[in-house]
Amino acid sequence: MSIEFDEESVPDYGALLRLDGRIVAVIGAGRGIGRQTCHALAQAGANVACIDIDIHVAQKVADEVGGCALSADVRQEAEVEAVFDAVIEHLGRLDAVVDIVGASHGRPLPEIDAPFLERTFELNLFQAIHVTRVAADRMARTGGGAIVLVGSSAGFASLPNQIAYGSAKAALHHFVRGAASELGHRGIRVNAIAPGYVRTERMLARFAPEQWYEVETNTPMQRAGATPDIAGVALFLVQDLSSYLSGQVILADGGMLNPPRVMRTSSARQIAGMLCND
């Protein structure tokens, strides 16, 4: 039996990497992963709206990438609506959103009270729901787009003093899958990145050199993450190269949790609960 030659058309894969003419909003753009993501998107040709609660750092990054600076507290749904409307007013449309907002504040279970729970879930889950709902509505008007949220490896593993934060991020991971199912027919993809230990400004302030040594020793790749590592995943999830990915949570932790393994040093579990996004 003869086998016919494969004559399926071949796309321009290089073009799928480009974002020329796309309008992408980055929330939490002012530092760390957010700043690196703005640079990654701009280098791929996107016009970037740099959004941060602090307009001064948003403006600094916008100046670096030739973007537009806007300020919003995305914990407030009304401000989410206002800032996305401002993006459309200034730049004409909205094609993608990368939401970097989130942070961990560790407490053991007996010390968790209602205000702490509210703050933790507001920052790490509720704001992402507001962002997704509002952005999806705006993007659907012009044919769809991509939404990228930031979860955490704490949403996969039980870490010391991180039961509230880990629960919020696990809920965010579930939300990503549900939102992808609901929004796919409107042309909108929803994915997330779950970073492990990343050398952000905040994490560098929290960890001593010996703690970073523990992280590196217990990571198969033998190094902690860098902010460009996470920005690169965000870029990929916005690009058309990932056009058939939706509802995915990509664990970017250097292999620490894949597969689950016993940490090899005595103090590793003590520092395992200190995770944050930016």
Q: Which secondary structure element, helix H or strand E, spans residue 138, and what is its range?
A: helix 127-140
Q: Exposure of 228 by Cβ count < 10 A (0-12 exposed, 13-18 middle, 19+ buried)?
A: middle
Q: Measuring CA to CA, how many Å separate 171 from each of 133, 166, 188?
A: 16, 8, 20
Q: Which of 261, 174, 165 is nearest to 217 (CA)?
A: 261
Cα angle 150, 190, 59; round to 5: 55
Residue 249, SS3?
strand
Q: How many CB atoms lie within 10 A of CB 118?
A: 11
Query: Strands, E, within 82-228: which ranges?
Result: 96-99, 145-150, 188-195
Catalytic residues: 165
Q: Which secondary structure element, helix H or strand E, spans residue 70, and what is its range?
A: strand 68-71
Q: How far apart are CA 66 and CA 75, in angstroms?
A: 27
- The single residue listed with the structure tokens 């302030």 is 205
- Does residue 259 have a cis bond before it (omega within 30 degrees)? yes
Q: How far apart are CA 268 and CA 3, in angstroms?
A: 56
- Amino acid in the structure at residue 14: G
Q: How far apart are CA 275 and CA 272, in angstroms?
A: 8
